[in-house]
Amino acid sequence: MSAGVGRWSEFGARLRHVAEPRSWAVDANDGVIATAGLLEGFAGAGSDDPVLMTAATAMLIAGSLSIAGAKWSEAAAARDAEQTLIAQEQAEIAADPIHEVDELTAYWEGKGLQPETARHVAEQLSAKDALAAQLEYEHGISLPTPSWEPRWTAAAAGIAFLLGAAVPLLVTRLVPGPMEVWAILAAALISLSLTAMVVARTSRIPVSRMLLRSLAVGVGTMALSYIAGLVLL
């Protein structure tokens, strides 16, 4: 395999990791619940359509930017820690390569290989790429995180939240005033059901259990928000 093909393969693997359906579904789920809950609260307080549209739009913008910023900060911090570890390993290999081979040998012995076989494997891997061997087999880092990944992670999270938040926003825009509360509730429940099924399928957990959790959180959030609006009114 050429170096160019290898880089594209790594890039593709990273993109699939960043844009995995489960992550998108969870962030979209947050957008649905947050925006629908906010709208139910304002509706409970007797707000009219312009106020509801303003509130939903503000939540869509602020929420998507907030979750994108949080995901970027988290991913960037994880990458910084990983880069520090890589630098430490590079320094240790440069200072005492024999000791690093010994560590790798001990690792393979711990996995059940005979001492001679473990030493041979450690030497072969170290001869090919000592740093990659240490990172993968001692620290579980097979592909160091590229510099662009935190930004992609943030963008994916922000877009997913925005799409989720757009559902109750569109309902508010399209449905007549007296029916808005129930229409928002129905749209939110349908959206939460879809995202829950995606999460359940990709996580290999029972769909019924995930649906129950997601709908319980969604209905509870909207109900409490509506009650809060009534009380504050």
Question: What pLDDT was estimated at residue 13?
Answer: 55
- Residue 220, pLDDT > 80, answer yes
- Residue 143, pLDDT > 90, answer no
Phi, psi dihedral angles at 162 (to 5 degrees):
-60, -45
Please state, rounded to an integer, the average pLDDT across all residues of the chain: 87
Mean pLDDT of 16-39: 84
Tens-place pLDDT, residues 101-134: 998 899 898 888 898 998 999 889 888 888 888 8
Mean pLDDT of 137-147: 83
- Residue 90, pLDDT > 60, answer yes
Question: What pLDDT was estimated at residue 200?
Answer: 86
Cβ neighbours around 73 below 10 Å, total: 12
Question: What pLDDT was estimated at residue 6?
Answer: 45
- Residue 16, pLDDT > 80, answer no
Question: What pLDDT was estimated at residue 164?
Answer: 95
CA dist 31 and 57 (Å) reads 12
- Residue 136, pLDDT > 70, answer yes
- Residue 56, pLDDT > 70, answer yes
CA dist 140 and 3 (Å) reads 22
- Residue 2, pLDDT > 50, answer no
First-to-final CA distance of the chain: 67
More confident residue, 99 or 4: 99
Question: What pLDDT was estimated at residue 213?
Answer: 92
Q: Of 17, 15, 24, 149, which Cα lies nearest the Cα of 78?
A: 149
For 105, the token pair is: 């040998």
Tens-place pLDDT, residues 174-208: 987 778 889 999 999 999 999 999 888 887 889 89
Question: What pLDDT was estimated at residue 9?
Answer: 52
- Residue 19, pLDDT > 70, answer no
Q: Can you give the pTM of this predicted structure? A: 0.80
- Residue 3, pLDDT > 60, answer no
Its sign, for the CA torsion 83, 89, 93, 94, is positive
Q: What does the domain layout of the chain look like in residue ranges? A: 22-232
Mean pLDDT of 49-64: 93
CA-angle at 191, arms to 48 and 194, nearest 5°: 180
